[in-house]
Amino acid sequence: MLTNKSILITGGTGSFGNTFVPMTLAKYNPKRLIIYSRDEMKQWDMAKKFQGDPRVRFFIGDVRDRERLYRALDGVDYVVHAAATKIVPTAEYNPFECVKTNINGAMNLIDACIDKGIKRVVALSTDKASSPVNLYGATKLASDKLFVAGNSYAGGHETRFAVVRYGNVMGSRGSVIPFFMSIRDKGVLPVTDERMTRFMISLEQGVELVWHAFDDMVGGEIYVKKIPSMKVTELAKAVAPEARVEFVGIRPGEKLHEQMISPEDSFYTYEYPEHYKILPAIHNWDTTTERIKDGRKVAEGFEYSSDNNPEWMSTADLQAWIAANQHKIGNI
């Protein structure tokens, strides 16, 4: 589907973009892959990796800037929306800025994609958008709703929108694994609560979920990857077996367990071998066999959260992953 096509990724210099771009170039050989973001230094650093590859283009711009989006989307076939204000405390202390990027930016992109005749758009979501308790999660829930409704907003246009949702990305910038690795020499690792659990997904799995969404979507679906969970105390043990764990208390806006599908979503959720799919609640779209395909309806009240997950990652599994990915942890 993506072969010889033009693809634009918003927020493309982030952790996801730095994995999506090389994987997509290798697998699909697109005609153009445009990185749209607002940080010129990150673009400069990223451009060095793809020097001499005429398929990779860079476009300075902000999703808050509707006119700039219209220009960037000229001749584009597919869009991945990865731009976001995503650090939870940053969002809490700068709520207006978070809303401008995560909600207004989504509205700008939806409008521009419809008007420019983009074929398909996949937006990245987060576990924090399910039953949100912080502003970041609330803005991403609003964004998810905008992209789902964008399919009817498109009217007679052919543009279709879908969403992918996943949890803690192992080894990404600012996440817990590189943080623990950076302080393990001190012999003490701070953990907020001994009961805390997290979903574990690699960036490569996240990219593959986006590819699957492009291939499978009819419009309005939220794709949730089946991934293992891990107790944060076990994660700490995997990173620094000799270190002592110190419990420091849960932080504002933080959950004990990550949730990706709420019991309220269960009425519209279908299960597949490697993922779940939440179908839209509006317009009776959830009843269409075209969207359901070979899915099996989950039980009423079903919840997919990191504490009730049937699949768990062992300490040995995480240590093997860290050993294989040592060179890029914290740099992606």
* pLDDT 10s digits, 36-93: 999 999 999 999 999 989 999 999 999 999 999 999 999 999 999 999 999 888 999 9
Is it the case that residue 215 has pLDDT exceeding 90?
yes
- Which residues, at least 6 apart from 313, have a Cβ–Cβ distance to it below 8 Å? 200, 228, 229, 230
Is it the case that residue 138 has pLDDT exceeding 80?
yes
Kindly state the average pLDDT of the residues 299-314: 96
Catalytic positions, please?
A: 128
pLDDT category of residue 273 using cuts at 50, 70 and 90: very high
- 237 found inside a domain: no
How confident is the model at residue 214, as a pLDDT? Answer: 98
Average pLDDT, the chain: 94
Q: What is the CATH number of the domain that holds 162?
A: 3.40.50.720
- 300 found inside a domain: yes
β partners of residue 81? 10, 123
- 319 found inside a domain: no
26: tokens are: 């290798």
Provide Rg for the chain, Cα atoms: 20
pLDDT category of residue 329 using cuts at 50, 70 and 90: confident
Kindly state the average pLDDT of the residues 317-325: 92
How confident is the model at residue 93, as a pLDDT? Answer: 93
- 145 found inside a domain: yes
Query: What is the amino acid identity at position 127?
Result: D
Is it the case that residue 325 has pLDDT exceeding 80?
yes
How confident is the model at residue 326, as a pLDDT? Answer: 84
Roughly how many angstroms between the first and final C-alpha of the chain, as a whole number? 26
- 244 found inside a domain: no
- Which residues, at least 6 apart from 249, have a Cβ–Cβ distance to it below 8 Å? 192, 193
- 329 found inside a domain: no
Pairing mode of beta strands 160-165, 120-124: parallel
Pairing mode of beta strands 259-261, 244-247: unpaired
pLDDT category of residue 159 using cuts at 50, 70 and 90: very high
β partners of residue 80? 9, 122
Range of the domain at 118: 6-167+200-227+259-305
How confident is the model at residue 331, as a pLDDT? Answer: 65
Predicted model pTM: 0.95
Structural domain total, the chain = 1
98: tokens are: 């978070």
**Which residue, 154, 162, 120, 127, is CA-closest to 141?**
127
Q: Which residue has the higher pLDDT, 330 or 250?
A: 250
Is it the case that residue 174 has pLDDT exceeding 80?
no
How confident is the model at residue 277, as a pLDDT? Answer: 98
- 248 found inside a domain: no
- Lowest mean pLDDT, pick from 144-153, 243-252, 289-298, 302-311: 243-252
81: tokens are: 């929306």
* pLDDT 10s digits, 219-257: 999 999 999 999 999 999 999 999 999 999 988 788 999
How confident is the model at residue 172, as a pLDDT? Answer: 83
Percent of the chain at pLDDT exceeding 70 = 99
Kindly state the average pLDDT of the residues 160-189: 90
Contact 260, 197 (CB under 8 A): no
* pLDDT 10s digits, 107-129: 999 999 999 999 999 999 999 99
pLDDT category of residue 291 using cuts at 50, 70 and 90: very high
CA contacts within 13 A on the Cβ side of 19? 24
Sheet holding 56-60, edge to edge: 56-60, 32-37, 6-10, 78-81, 120-124, 160-165, 222-225, 275-278, 269-271, 296-297
Q: Which residue has the higher pLDDT, 313 or 288?
A: 313
Kindly state the average pLDDT of the residues 248-276: 94
Query: How far is 282 from 245, CA to CA, in rounded Å?
Result: 46
- 312 found inside a domain: no
